[in-house]
Amino acid sequence: MNRRDFLVSAASAAGFARTRDDCDALAHPALLAVLGGETVRGIGQRYRALVATERDREPLRSAILASGPLRSFWMPRAALAQRVRADFAAGRTVLVAGWVLSVTEARQCALYSLLPSPPTPR
C-alpha cells in the first residue's frame, strides 16, 4: 500500500466519508440530471424491494462505501462519478425497472428514495 492509498483507507475508516457533503452526494446520484427525480425515486424503491439486505439507509451507505475506497474522498461527487463509470467498465451493473445501471448508482437511487419527497409546488 502506498502512502496515498494508506491515507485514503485511513480516512474512510475514520469516517471521513460521512461528512454532510458526502452523505448528500451519496443520496444524490448524477443520474438525477439524466432521468429526473421521479424516475430516480422509482428506481430506488424498486432496488430496495429487489435487494432485501439493502432496504435502509445504513446498509445502503455501507454497501456504497465498502465496495472500494473512495479515492478522492474529499470530492465525493467526482469520486462517485468515477466509481459509477468503473462499475460500467467492469460489468458491475444491475437492471432495475429495465434501466442498465451501475451497482453504485442503483444504491444511490435507493438512498434518494429514502429522502422525503420535495413539497409539491402550489
Partner 1 sequence: MHIDARTLPNGTVLEGDLCIVGAGAAGITIAREWIGARQTVLLLEGGGLQYEAAMQDLYRGDIVGLPYFPLEAARLHLFGGTTGHWAGFCSTFDGIDFAARDWVPHSGWPLRREDLDPFYARAQPLLELGPYDYRAAFWQQQDPALVPLGLDPSAVWTKMWQFSPPTRFGTTYRDAIFAAPNVRLYTHANVCTIEPNDAASAVQGLRVRDFAGKELRVRARHYVLACCSIQNARLLLVSNVGNAHDLVGRFFMEHLEIPSGRLALAPTAAPAGMKMYEWIPHVTKARGELALAPAVQREQRVLNATVSLDPGAPDEVAQSTFQAVTPDVLAAQRDSEAAGSHEPSSPPVPSPPRSGRFFHVMTRQEQAPNPSSRVTLSSDRDALGMPRARLDWQLTALDKQSFQRFYDVLGREFGRSGLGRVQVLDWVRTEDPAWPRTLSGGWHHMGTTRMHRDARSGVVDADCRVHGIANLSIAGASVFPTAGAVNPTLTLVALSLRLSDHLKRRLA
The answer to whether 95 contacts partner 1 (rule: CB under 8 A) is: yes
Q: Within 10 Å of residue 108's Cβ, how many Cβ atoms?
A: 30
> At how many degrees (to 10) do helices 76-90 and 103-114 cross?
130
Q: Does the footprint of partner 1 cover residue 79 (CB under 8 A)?
A: no
With binding defined as CB under 8 A, does residue 67 bind partner 1?
Answer: no
Among 25, 84, 109, 111, binds partner 1 (CB under 8 A): 84
- E-only strand ranges, the chain: 93-96, 99-102
CA quadruple 43, 46, 51, 56: dihedral, nearest 10 = 80
Among 7, 23, 93, 115, binds partner 1 (CB under 8 A): 93
**Smallest distance from partner 1 to CB 28, Å:** 15
Among residues 31, 63, 109, 111, the one that binds partner 1 under rule CB under 8 A = 31
Which of these, 66, 72, 42, lies nearest to 53 by C-alpha position? 66
- HSE at residue 71, side-chain half, CA atoms within 13 A, is 10
Q: Which residue in 7, 23, 50, 81 binds partner 1 (CB under 8 A)?
A: 81
Positions touching partner 1 (CB under 8 A) are 31, 33-35, 39, 81, 84-85, 87-89, 91, 93, 95, 97-102
